[in-house]
Chain A
Amino acid sequence: MSSGVHDLGGREGIGAINPTPAEPVWKAEWEKHAHALFPLAFRAGFFGLDQFRSGMEQMDPDEYLNTPYYEHWVHSVVHHGVRHGHFDADELDRRTQYYLENPDAPLPEGKDAEGELVAFIEGIVPVGAPAGRDTGKAAKFSIGDRVTVLSDAPEGHTRRARYIRGKTGVIDRAHGEMIYPDTAGNDRGESPEHVYTVRFTTEEIWGAEEGEPNGSITFDVWEPYIVPASK
């Protein structure tokens, strides 16, 4: 969503970072399974990456801020799974209750004698799912151009963070066309657009008093997010 609580850049008063020098990859067994849901539900057509993010953004804000990270993934998988009829919400609740009362009950037997799912995992990890596209559309902007990010944001999924809206910066890099989140994340197709990295000074973003001196922020924008800066 265009102004949800997930859009965290610059928010204050939400606690200490408490970095850990090292930690296990999974904090609990269920996290390992939740992580695997992402590529496997993607393979099953539940969502593309932008829709997956959009699903997480629609969580209750309190839950979003206070639940373990992988719960966000679970939320999005259920959101899209129910939406597309892969899950029946009541059936899911019944089974959840069953496993809550019988946490050691086994999972059903797998139906993949040919090992296609393992092969899919081994295939997608080293290759990924590239978002780059080439429709041959000419880029409207070049490196060095001064541009301003539009200050409004449409309903639904977008990557136009609040803190860069209305701000002016300089194009630092140009990357060609990529899937456009504002259409892809809202079920309206890939509609690729040119992507640029824009550099903003800290002062431009946060003001001369609040911004730290000698700093900058770079943020990737799709072409429809920006207009030429007025002089």
Chain B
Amino acid sequence: MSAPEKATDHQAEIAARVKAIESIMIEKGLMTTEAVDRLAEIYENEVGPQLGAKVVARAWTDPEFKARLLENASTACAELGISGLQGEDMVAVEDTDDVHHVIVCTLCSCYPWPVLGLPPNWYKMPPYRAAMVKAPRKVLREEFGYDVPESVEIRVWDSSSELRYWVLPQRPAGTEDFTVEQLEALVTRDSMIGVGAPKAAA
């Protein structure tokens, strides 16, 4: 059997298994398709990296908010109505000229859902989890096309507990006159994971 056919069979098998589980849970009153759809809607349309971008742009323009964010990211984000599941205890770490941060969960797939939404597949899969703690500079350069000079320390944050780390990237040059909304548009998901830079000022 060719590999694509095998993969299709596997998808059909797992889809049937999930449906079997769901049918039992529905009969026991533990699940409904309405609950499934509501959760999906939240993570498709409501909770995603646009929320983290709001927090970052606010921190770039409001030094007192930034201080509160670095002191306790969960309470600072809650000021903007951003909180919840898999981000009960968030820690924002600030990039500077001397230090660049990047996050990983080597033991599973921990990720700060309230500010970034659900993680991209590559973040959860074995290659990233294995390599990022071992050779972050090489991984950033070769896999993400992101060069961090040797003079800059790379700090890798492995989320082994329920603390959820994420990166406050540096504000791009040439954005002195930008509004908060314009700044938000520069903040990318990858810049808050630490595998990319924010977009440059156009």
Contact = CB atoms under 8 A, between A and B. Distances in A.
B21 A212 contact: no
User: Could you say which of B15, B20, B129, B156 has the most chain A C-beta atoms within 10 Å of its C-beta?
Assistant: B20
Contacts of A143: none
Interface stretch (B41-49, B52-60, B61-69, B166-174): B41-49
A61 B158 CA distance: 22
Contacts of B108: 6, 53, 56
A112 B39 CA distance: 16
A112 B29 contact: yes
* Chain A: number of interface residues, binned into ranges: 35 or more
Contact of B18 (A12, A34, A121): A34
A7 to B, nearest CB: 6
B122 A20 contact: yes
Given A11-B126, A118-B34, A197-B163, A131 B88 contact: yes
A154 interface: no
B1 interface: no
Nearest to A31: B18
A32 B11 CA distance: 13
A227 interface: no
Contacts of B43: 25, 35
A103 B17 CA distance: 10
A221 B106 contact: no
Most chain A CB atoms below 10 A, which of B47, B107, B159: B107
B133 A163 contact: yes
A150 interface: no
A27 B121 contact: yes
B5 interface: no
Contacts of B24: 86-87, 91-92, 95
Interface residues of B, number: 84
Contact of A69 (B15, B29, B33, B121): B121
A33 B120 contact: no
B46 to A, nearest CB: 9
Nearest to B193: A19
A43 B33 CA distance: 16
B127 interface: yes
Contact of B20 (A11, A16, A99): A99
Given A15-B126, A125-B84, A216 B155 contact: yes
A110 B21 CA distance: 14
Given A217-B158, A219-B160, A17 B14 contact: no
Interface in B98-140: 106-109, 114, 117-118, 120-122, 124-131, 133-139
Contacts of B162: 49, 130-132, 178-179
Contacts of A186: none
A215 B143 contact: no
B30 A36 contact: no
B33 A107 contact: yes
A36 B35 CA distance: 8
Given A35-B39, A41-B30, A81-B21, A20 B120 contact: yes
Interface in B73-104: 83-89, 91
Interface of A: 6-12, 14-20, 23, 25-30, 32-37, 39-41, 43-44, 49, 53, 56, 65, 67-69, 71, 74, 77-78, 81, 86-87, 91-92, 95-100, 103, 107-112, 115, 117-118, 120-122, 124-132, 159, 161, 163, 173, 175, 178-179, 195, 197, 199, 205-206, 210, 212-222
Given A6-B108, A68-B11, 8 more contacts: A19-B122, A25-B43, A30-B11, A74-B21, A81-B21, A117-B30, A118-B32, A215-B136
